[in-house]
Structures are given as structure tokens and as C-alpha cells.
Structure 1
Amino acid sequence: MGKRQSAGFIYRLAALITIAVVIIAVAAACGKKEENDGLQQGGNAKEAASKKEGEGQDDLLNKFRATVKQAKEAADIVSFLNENMGKAGQANADIMIRELNAFYQTDLPRTQEQFYQPNVQEILLASEQPITAANAASFEDKAVRQLVVTKLSGGYRLEQAEGTIFPIVDYAMQQKFSAYLSDALKQYVALKAVESSKPAAKDAGLVISWDELAERAVMAETFVSDYPDSPERAEVLQLYTDSYLSMYIYGLNNTPIFDYDTYKLKPETKASYEKLQANHPNTVTAETVKRFLEVLAGTGGRVYENKEGMQTKIAAVQRFHERFQADARSQLESE
């Protein structure tokens, strides 16, 4: 091949290569544009779907509030939640449960009054216990049957104490919604469910063990510590100091912490105090019990003393009793 032919071939080859490079570059640019367009369209679709979901959840909350406003029975609200809670979203699910519980606060006195209408107590006390929707369905009295079934389907349960049967809020029912709730509200419902399913005390006496009472106290204390911004914190703090901790330190009339003959702390109560300190050493509850045992160490283990045949307060114990609830509250508030 001559020099002129060789040069011509090289020029043509270079031109072909240049054209190929341009074609590849254009194709790549087009592909990149298509990819970007696809990503943008996907992002827009997700954004639109998210917006639509949010609007749907807002509409659902509005429908829920309309249901609450019109509800004559808690059963109307619970029925709405059963059908729609899975579509609410966590924030709205929390709102719905709180508004259900607000409804109970106003509805409970009315509901309790209904159970003291003529014949209701007589029929309930003569029935198989505990009363459930299943055995209530067999009540011959139509009005009582409808009353009980309606209240049970609305998230109440029937409790018996001092010879009467009365409704309380069944927080265990709300636990079926726990998967949709925030951690704080989930723990609140769990805490309340423990008490509503098995109240700590009845007829002025404990119906659970000292150890179980201690665990409930620690559970309430933990909630107060873990969720300082929870709207339910003040309620749980009061439950802790005025109920669980109070019963654990004072005892109850029919379940005293001391022996009536010697006025000394009962061995089973002391054993529970010591077990609590071992199992939950870094809690306000354990610290409170520790200080109480230190006070009793100075009284020979006596909670009261016998003076002329009378149960008499001991000054050191009285001072502790006057302060322990406020001290516990102060410790939790300072955390």
C-alpha cells in the first residue's frame, strides 16, 4: 500500500472511531437521562403515595373523632378501631387510644350507675363467675343481657368486690392494638392491663403477693423514668407513689406488714423487701425499702409499739412514713 493510500486509510479509520465515540456518548447520555427520569418519576410516585396515605390517615382521624362525638356507647368506638386501627399510622393510633380512654373517663360513672339499677346486681351475683359475653348471652332478662354484652364489647370488664359487681376499663383489650402504638403508650397500656386484669387489692387486702406488688411498683417507676414526656406520666407517678409504693410500705388493713401481737415486721414482708433490693438495686423503690429497713433496725423490727395495751406510733417510723412518698416523687422528678 502506498503512502497516500495508507494515510487515507488512517484518516477514514480515525473518522469512524470518532463517529463511534460520539454515538456511544450520545447513547450513554440518553440512557442516563432515561434513568434520571425514571428515578424522578419513582420519587414523585413515592411522594404522591406518601401524601395520599397521609391525607387518608387524616380523613380517618376525622371520621374517628366524629364517631367519638356521636357515640352513645364505648362499643361504637371500639368497633371503629377494630376495623381501622391498622390504617391509622402510629401518631394517629396514639391519638385514638388516648381519646378512647378520655371517653371512658366520662362514660365510666354512667356505666357504673347502670349496674345498680333494679335487678341487675341480683342477676349478676347469681350468675356464673367471671361474667363473660358468652355466659351473659344466656341471661333470661333481656335488659340485663343487653347491658352486659354491650359493655363488654365496649372494652369494659366486670369486677367483684365487697358483695357487688361493677364495671372497670379492660385495658387488656387495648393490647390488641399495641403493634400500632408508640413504645410509651404501648408500655402504659401494658401497665394498666396488669392492674385491670388482676387488681392488686380488694376488700382492704392484697390479692397478689408482696413480690408481685414490688414488681408492679418497679414497672410503674420504670415508666416514669423512661418516658418523662409522656402525657400519661403524671397518672403513672401517682399510681406508683400513692398506690403501689404506699401499699408496699404501709400494708393494708387486711394484709398488714407487721404481726399484730409483736408489731414486728413480718418475715415474709422483710424477705420481699430484701429480694427487691437484690433484683432491682438501682431503683427508687429499692432505695425506699432500704431506708425503711434501716429505720426498723433501730426499733428492733417494730413498726409500732405497745403502750398500755394500745398500738402506738414510733417517732422514727412516723417520720419515715410522713416523708417516703414525697421523697420518692422528688427523686423521680430530679432524674
Structure 2
Amino acid sequence: MRTLPDSLAKTARAVLLGTSLTLAGGTVFAGAQPVAAASTADAQAVYNQFRKYVSNPASQAQARKYLMNHISKAGSWYGTVMTLQLENVQKAGLERFSEKLYSDSVQKALWDAQINNDMTYTEILKRVKAPAVRKLMEEIWDKGYKLETSEGMYYPVMHYEGFKAFKPYVSKDIAAYIDIMATESNKPSTFDAGIVITWDELIGRAANMSDFVQDYPKSNRTAAIRNELSYTVPLVLLGSDNTPAYDYDTNALDPELRRAYDHAQTKGTGDNKVLNILVKLVTLLNTFGNQKTPEVEAYLDQVVKQYTEL
């Protein structure tokens, strides 16, 4: 069943998004209201100092540390703006920073240390002996990234769990966005072309994303969640290369996935679009004996196209 309870989803839908502000890069934020007049000067001072750091790629780590130490003084409006700007900067710098890890010497040092995705930052530092590589690991952490490995390659990714420290100081939509992104960042749904979480959890993630898009249509991060949906919904319906929803030889639906489809509907689907897709799909599957017949395939293609061509 979906991870977000119906009661919380309905509460989220009651939130009205207010004023808007153009951020660096031309994006628009809609959400929290400005801070009270009594604290406006302090909030503005925090924001001004943060902007000095975040505007310079060389001080990205300093911008993150400054925000962690001062966001509580800024109020939710400025807090939200600064959190989104920090994310923008981290995402923009990720590819550039990744190049530092791709050298043969760094990759070999991490391989020799037998670093894996389950290790904490502290464990990684204990294992890595080369001073230059240790410094690079520290930089990863300070800039707000984390280390991952797949198919024999090490690379940095966004560490959204670190953004949870900002949740008490941002608008409700951005707090919900942080939770969604941290869930995937902490435990990716796929690894080496296989689905590595349960079907129930995968459906729950898709349902939560669908709720977000419907609850916060004007949020600055609705487009980002739509993008996540364009990846997650096809997984729910078709599986992945190494974890197919339907057997390649018989076209039979994975029995565990069918069980998950049924379980997702046990407490009702409400107006959640993803869960209502499953209602229609299950009706077809009942008619055609859980086989991917031309009729079932046509429906799957129709839905996937709706999400991947947004």
C-alpha cells in the first residue's frame, strides 16, 4: 500500500500555495509566506550572506554549512528559497565534481578499500588510506553529496537525507519533496537494471509522487517530481530489464507484483492517479488471466506514454 497515509495526503491537499519568487536560474517558487516583520532584517542578513557563498562554486561547501547553522533565523520563506538555491547549485556542480572521481587512481583506491553503497561516511574514511582520496571523500560530504558504486564504477550522487535538517524551516511542499527525494537517495529503487526494493514499496513511492503532483501543482519542484514519475510508473507497470513485470517467455504477470497490485487497493485509492491506473489494469488482468495480451499491452503502452511524454 502507499507509504503516505490517506489522512496525511488529505491534509497536504488543504495547503494553499501563496506568493511566488523568481530564483536564480529563472525558476519560480510558490509556497511559504514571508517572515514576520520583526525578523525581516535578520532574515535578510542571513539570506544576503548565504547568497555570497552560494553564488561562488568554490564556496559551495561553505554555503551548505552556513545554511545549516543559520536557516533557523531566516523564517520559512527565505529558508525555502535558500534550500532550493542550494539544491540547484549542488545539482549544477555534480557532473563537474564527478570528474574528480573518474581518474584511475581514485577508482583503484576505492576499489582496493572495498567501498560499497552500504557504508557510512565514517566507515569510508576509515577504509581509504590515500591522503588525496580521503580529502576527496571529505569534499564529497562537505558539498552535500554521497558516494555510490554501480557496475564497478564509483561516483557521487545527491545526498537528500542531508536536506532533512532544513525541513522545519521550509514550506510544506518542499518538506514533502525532500522526503520523496531522500527515500530514493537513501535506497534507490533500481541497481544494475534490477528492481531492488519490494513491489509494495515501489508502488508506494509512485503513489506518494502522484499525491505530490496533485497536491502542489504550483510548487517549484512539481516538475522534478513529474520527472521522477516518468521513471517510476513504467517500473510499476513493466518492471525493469532484470526484474520484468511479465515473464519474457510466457507473458505471465509476476505473482508477487499481482499481489502488490491487489494490496495497494485494499484501503481504497481515493483520487490518487497511480492507484487508479492499477484499478483499471487489474480489471484487465482479471479478464485475461494475468497475461500480457494485446489488450493489456495496449493499456500499458497508453499509460506509460502519458508519463514519459510529459
Counterpart CA distance in 2 for 1:329 and 1:166 is 26
Scaled by the length of structure 2, what TM-score is found? 0.81
> Which amino acid counterpart does residue 263 of structure 2 have in structure 1?
K
Name which of 10, 23, 44 aligns with 1:58: 44
Instruction: Note the C-alpha offset of 1:57.
Output: 1.0
Larger RCO of the pair (alpha carbons < 8 Å, separation 6+): 2
Q: Deviations over 1:24-81 (max 9, x none)?
A: xxxxxxxxxxxxxxxxxxxxxxxxxx64521221121111111112241532221111
Whole-Å separation in 1 of the counterparts to 2:275 and 2:240: 20
Aligned pairs for 1:1-335 (under 5 A) are: 51=37, 53-72=39-58, 74-127=60-113, 128-129=115-116, 130-138=118-126, 139-240=128-229, 242-282=230-270, 283-303=272-292, 314-325=293-304
CA drift at 1:239: 1.2
More helix by share: 1
Cα deviation, residue 116, structure 1: 0.3
Partner of 1:255, secondary structure, is: coil
Q: Indicate the structure (1 or 2) with the bigger Cα radius of gyration.
A: 1
Tell me the distance in 2 between the aligned counterparts of 1:176 and 1:248.
Answer: 31
Do the aligned partners of residues 294 and 327 (structure 1) sit closer, same or farther apart at CA in structure 2, a change above 3 Å counting? farther
Gap change, CA 1:51 and 1:324, over 3 Å in 2: closer
The alignment partner of 1:258 has SS state of coil
Amino acid at match of 2:223: A
Large movers: runs of 4+ above 6 Å: none
Aligned to 1:191, the other structure's residue is in SS state: helix
Query: How far off its partner does 1:108 sit?
Result: 0.5
Q: Are the aligned partners of 1:206 and 1:254 in contact in 2 as well (CA < 8 Å)?
A: yes
CA distances 1:165-206 after superposition (whole Å, capped 9, x unpaired): 211111111101111111111000011000000000010010
Contact 1:131–1:158 (8 Å) recurs in 2: no
SS for the counterpart of 1:160 is: strand
Deviation at 1:106, TM superposition (A): 1.2
Which whole-Å deviations, capped at 9, do the CAs of 1:271-322 have from their partners, x for residues lacking one? 000111213422211221122223333433222xxxxxxxxxx432332122
Tell me the equivalent position of 2:23: none
The AA in structure 2 aligned to 1:93 is G
Where structure 2 has 5 or more consecutive residues not aligned to the other structure, the ranges are 1-35
- The one-letter code sitting in structure 2 at the alignment partner of 1:264 is A
The alpha-carbon deviation at position 328 of structure 1 amounts to 6.6
Measure, in 2, the Cα distance between the counterparts of 1:123 and 1:279: 50
Supply the RMSD in Å over aligned alpha carbons: 2.1
What SS class does the counterpart of residue 253 from structure 1 fall into?
A: coil
Q: Tell me if the contact between 1:57 and 1:87 (Cα under 8 Å) persists in the aligned partners.
A: yes
**Which shows bigger deviation, 202-211 or 55-64?**
55-64
The letter of the residue matching 2:109 is: I
- Structure 1 gaps, min length 5: 1-49, 304-313
**Cα gap change, 1:121/1:188 in structure 2, threshold over 3 Å: closer, same or farther?**
same
Alignment-mate amino acid for residue 123 of structure 1: A
**Counterpart amino acid of residue 257 in structure 2:** T
Secondary structure in structure 1 of the residue aligned to 2:149: strand
Cα deviation, residue 250, structure 1 = 0.7
Query: Which residue identity lines up with residue 234 of structure 2 in the other structure?
Result: S
